[in-house]
Chains A and B, each alone.
Chain A
Amino acid sequence: MRGWISPAITEPVRRRLLFTALCLPLAWLGYAIAGELNQPGSVLGADPGEAVVLFLGEWGLRLLLLTLAVTPLRRLTGWAELLGYRRMIGLFSFTYLALHLLAYVALLAEFDWRLVLEDFSDRAYITAGLIGFGLLLPLAVTSTRGWQRRLGRRWRSLHRLVYPAVFLGLLHLVWLTKDGYGEVAAYGVLLSLLMVERIRHGAWWGRKAAG
């Protein structure tokens, strides 16, 4: 499997390349925001706040799905090194989603907490997204080796929260979509494939190696 990767690109280099790649959406956002500050409407259109929120949410969800794809990909390719990148991808996903939430509160709601609380309680799609994010919070906190050691077997159980979290993330997207379900369908198919792979390996809620 690794035959196509030049031996000169060693594991630390690969790690840095992946880190850089995961930063690219943020870099583009930085460029877009700089453009907006320079000339409003020039990059993000008539509703730049909403554009930023949507962009961050989409990348957060994509990277969460990518995180869930690591283990099936490792099983498929037999490339054990992949597992070593899972935490980084997961933390990037969490970062994008945290910024998504922050951008919503700061740019769309403009720190109007009455509006935010009303959205949290009255808008089902926002409630779903918020709960999903809440589930990811302990996962991000306990992602370190120290916590992994301390929690032992329970770490694995705790991190299964990622499944309801990604489901709620997808539900959030389904519920906010008015029409045009192409993106939702693509993510749904991908998530289904990843779950089927897990079930086939008995790794879903079972005793075998973590899913």
Chain B
Amino acid sequence: MLIRRPDDVRPSEITPEQVYLNRRKFAKALGAGAAMLAAPWSANAGDSSGNDLEPTPEDIVTSYNNFYEFGTGKEDPKKHAHALTTSPWSVEVSGAVGKPGTYDLDDLLKGLAPEERIYRFRCVEAWSMVVPWLGIPLKSILDRLEPLGSAKYVEFKTLYRPSEMRGQRSPFSSIDWPYVEGLRLDEANHPLTIMAVGLYGKPLPNQNGAPWRLVVPWKYGFKSIKSIVSIRFTEREPENTWKLLQPQEYGFYANVNPAVDHPRWSQASERRLPSSLFSQNRMPTLPFNGYADEVAGLYAGMDLTRYY
């Protein structure tokens, strides 16, 4: 199934939510083994940490967001992101790459089928969710662009369009728009790293980063940059917005790590949303957000308290 612009997708192509939820229930009923088959990347779900992969309800995934382009409140993105035009969408590819240029997103993704990935999503603010993304492995997209041998990093930029993104108009923001993020090329090429184009079987809602956003499940959420318009291949480590703002609090790597605290939030545990008034649903945070088996090797020999 290829995800196109929301207005291109015929209603008949979309899995009705109830059918979708029933499928999930069905998978659950088959037991943990079947559920894990349905979610191949949830290999750590069965460990004893208590982290399970029951997806967070859709209305919470789409109404509790950090997307400062639309305001700093959690509910602001849902309120204001409808103003964003996501079609047409062009992406500029530049830097150490064989096929630089300006691409129409549809052309860039043509023939690449999104697959469902149920990932933990851990915010640096110590709350977390489980999101059933629809995504395309980033590697298959980057390969099309033919990175040069000299490329060591990939830099991404979010759209800068103050006329539609009211947070970018705010005089009280200290962010130097546009939002930028980056990955090492081997992180970008890791099979867990995807470009999400949908969630819950539907095209990505604007407040979640339409029309496409990065998802790097073993890193804090701020690495997973939304509404991307630029991909640049570089030899040097690119800047990232939060590190530029508060370098003593946010680093380039931002791997989920319960042993390295953020000055404002303990990272040892997390609150899995939704919480209720009298239960925070607190659970221990896992190294690399539960994906250590898959990704710890990327950082072998690195001092993770220094490269946080």
* Chain A residues within 8 Å of B, Cβ to Cβ: 33, 36-37, 40-41, 44-50, 52, 107-108, 110, 115, 118-119, 122-125, 175-176, 178-182, 185
Contacts and interface: CB of A to CB of B under 8 A. Distances in A.
A122 B266 contact: yes
Contacts of A123: 263-266
B172 A181 contact: yes
Interface SS majority for chain B: loop
A148 B167 CA distance: 49
Contacts of B265: 123
Interface in B255-270: 261, 263-266, 269
B21 interface: no
Contacts, number: 82
A110 B282 contact: yes
A43 to B, nearest CB: 10
Interface SS majority for chain A: helix
Contact of A49 (B74, B75, B277): B277
Contact of B64 (A45, A119, A125): A45
Size category, B interface:
20 to 34
Contact of B280 (A41, A108, A175, A180): A108
Contacts of A119: 266
A46 B274 contact: yes
Contacts of A44: 277
A40 B264 contact: no
Contact of B175 (A36, A179, A182): A179
B85 interface: no
B117 interface: no
Nearest to B172: A182
Given A41-B60, A123-B264, A49 B275 contact: yes
A84 B127 CA distance: 45
B266 A115 contact: yes
